């Protein structure tokens, strides 16, 4: 578009930079040669960059007349960074705000043109990905093929913008330079040429070219964020508050792209008395730490350890004694409860029965660890019914391993058994009974 504005040498001044020495030299050549050249700068490959723009300084570009070789100078505006969030965007043209940067229909792959089309007439959604150096890649993703906008010229200037598979080269990297009023110039990192609506946004299918920077609307674009790659969620509406038993619902909105989502809120913490059951409530002393498996229920519902509750055991449960288990509810539940289990002493067994006169001597195996004494029973009842027929003998030293018994009634059958115990703070913890033995008194 800029071609037609350069009809006379006088017009040069309009676009001239402040590099006055160069310009005056060229003007003088024209004046003193005596025949003014109708300059032709249309051969845009006759271009070179005198100084590249930076983030604070303008750059300078020169185009040479293809007839006389004299130079025409143009500023390259300072770079900038619109700080675009990674995500999907539409890119609106300022020339005609109904027009958007588009993939030419049917040209979604390598070599496809980038053009402008009215809203909805073409594929107009591009993924913008920051490269980390204030430049961006613009890709069009269609199924598995992802193609990036490329400055075709790649150093030769004044080319089309088209699509090409990503090659990690600077012709696919673009600065997005904000003008402070919501519009941006899209500048090629390779050439400092910019996105240019070559036909001022007037017709569907007009190519986007890359051209040297002109301060006009054909080079101004707005990035409209459709969807962030990573949303910035904020709660905006409580649709339903949770109760003790029912979940609630909250709507969140992304503060950047305005997308919304609904999120379930778990029920409020419910206060219950947990139903605690242990895999075992009695363990036999074995010199090792022993703990039961704990199951916690809310009614019939089995709760989940870690999520719904934590279990703490009172102390190292190794020796004979009573141990407590504390269940503390958490998460959706509140409350606590305890259960307990015992570790009982190891039992013993009767090893020998001898008779001398009418005195019977019973011997048993000694148990010295975690045992205070023994309880020995003999009875004419096989089930050791309480009463006269069952005698209980307590031996309060674990080192004693025999007992003499007199006055057994001749002819009766007697049953005998033994168990150990440990006394802790006045409470006796008994072992299991030994197996029952029997003999006939004579």
Site for Zn ion, rule CB under 5 A: 37, 39, 65, 67-68, 228, 231, 254, 256-257
User: Nearer to Zn ion by C-beta: 192 or 223?
Assistant: 223
Residues near 142 by beta carbon (within 8 Å), at least 6 away in sequence: 108, 109, 123
User: Nearer to Zn ion by C-beta: 88 or 330?
Assistant: 88
User: Nearer to Zn ion by C-beta: 67 or 264?
Assistant: 67
User: Nearer to Zn ion by C-beta: 68 or 169?
Assistant: 68
Residue 231: CB minimum distance to Zn ion, A: 4
Residue 199: CB minimum distance to Zn ion, A: 27
User: Nearer to Zn ion by C-beta: 254 or 371?
Assistant: 254
Three-state secondary structure string covering the chain: CHHHHCCCHHHHHHHCCCCHHHHHHHHHHHHHHCCCCCCCCCCCCCEEEEECCCCCCCEEEEEECCCCCCEEEEEECCCCCCCCCCEEEEEEECCCCCEEEEECCCCCCCCCEEEEEECCCCECCEEEEECCCCEEEEEEEECCEEEEEEECCCCCCCCEEEEEECCCCHHHCEEEEECCCCCEEEEECCCCCEEEECCCCCCCCEEEEEECCCCCHHHCEEEEEEEECCCCEEEEEEEECCCCCCCEEEEEEECCCCCEEEEEECCCCEECCCEEEECCCEEECCCCCCCCCEEEEECCEECCECCCEEEEECCCCCCCEEEEEEEEECCCEECEEEEEEEEECCCCCEEEEEEECCEEEEEECCCCCCCCEEEEEEECCCCCCCCCCEEEEEECCCCCCEEEECCCCCCCEEEEEEEEEEEECCEEEECCCCCCEEEECC
Complete edge-to-edge strand list for the sheet that includes strand 59-64? 47-51, 59-64, 71-76
User: Nearer to Zn ion by C-beta: 213 or 228?
Assistant: 228
Residue 327: CB minimum distance to Zn ion, A: 43
- Look up tokens 């001597």; give the residue: 361
Residue 44: CB minimum distance to Zn ion, A: 15
Residue 228: CB minimum distance to Zn ion, A: 3
User: Nearer to Zn ion by C-beta: 87 or 112?
Assistant: 87
User: Nearer to Zn ion by C-beta: 229 or 244?
Assistant: 229
User: Nearer to Zn ion by C-beta: 86 or 306?
Assistant: 86
Residue 257: CB minimum distance to Zn ion, A: 3
Residue 40: CB minimum distance to Zn ion, A: 7
Residue 139: CB minimum distance to Zn ion, A: 18
Residue 254: CB minimum distance to Zn ion, A: 3
């Amino acid at each position: 578009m800029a071609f037609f504005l350069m009809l006379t040498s006088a017009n040069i001044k309009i676009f001239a930079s402040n590099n006055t020495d160069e310009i005056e030299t060229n003007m003088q050549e024209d004046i003193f040669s005596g025949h003014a050249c109708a300059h032709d700068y249309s051969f845009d490959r006759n271009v070179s960059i005198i100084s590249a723009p930076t983030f604070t300084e303008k750059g300078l570009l020169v185009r040479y007349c293809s007839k006389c070789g004299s130079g025409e100078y143009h500023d390259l505006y300072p770079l900038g960074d619109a700080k675009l969030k990674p995500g999907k965007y539409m890119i609106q043209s300022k020339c005609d705000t109904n027009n958007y940067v588009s993939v030419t229909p049917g040209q979604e792959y390598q070599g496809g043109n980038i053009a402008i089309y009215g809203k909805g007439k073409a594929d107009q959604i591009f993924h913008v990905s920051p490269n980390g150096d204030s430049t961006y890649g613009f890709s069009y993703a269609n199924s598995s093929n992802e193609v990036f906008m490329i400055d075709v010229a790649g150093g030769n200037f004044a080319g089309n913008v088209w699509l090409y598979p990503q090659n990690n080269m600077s012709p696919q990297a673009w600065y997005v330079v904000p003008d402070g009023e919501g519009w941006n110039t899209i500048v090629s990192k390779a050439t400092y040429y910019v996105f240019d609506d070559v036909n001022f946004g007037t017709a569907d299918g007009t190519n986007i070219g890359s051209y040297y920077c002109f301060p006009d609307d054909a080079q101004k674009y707005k990035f409209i964020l459709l969807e962030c790659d990573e949303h910035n969620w904020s709660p905006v509406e409580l649709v339903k508050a949770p109760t003790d038993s029912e979940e609630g619902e909250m709507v969140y909105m992304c503060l950047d792209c305005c997308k919304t989502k609904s999120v379930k809120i778990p029920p409020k913490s419910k206060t219950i008395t947990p139903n605690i059951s242990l895999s075992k409530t009695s363990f036999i002393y074995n010199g090792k730490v022993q703990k039961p498996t704990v199951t916690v229920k809310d009614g019939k519902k089995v709760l989940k350890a870690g999520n719904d509750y934590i279990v703490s055991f009172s102390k190292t449960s190794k020796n004979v004694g009573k141990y407590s288990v504390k269940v503390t509810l958490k998460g959706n539940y509140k409350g606590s409860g305890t259960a307990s289990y015992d570790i009982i002493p190891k039992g013993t067994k009767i090893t020998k029965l001898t008779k001398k006169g009418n005195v019977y001597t019973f011997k048993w195996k000694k148990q010295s660890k975690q045992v205070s004494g023994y309880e020995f029973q003999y009875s004419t009842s096989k089930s050791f019914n309480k009463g006269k027929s069952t005698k209980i003998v307590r031996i309060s030293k674990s080192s004693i391993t025999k007992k003499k018994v007199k006055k057994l009634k001749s002819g009766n059958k007697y049953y005998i058994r033994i168990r150990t115990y440990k006394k802790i703070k006045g409470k006796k913890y008994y072992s299991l009974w030994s197996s029952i033995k029997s003999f006939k008194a004579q």
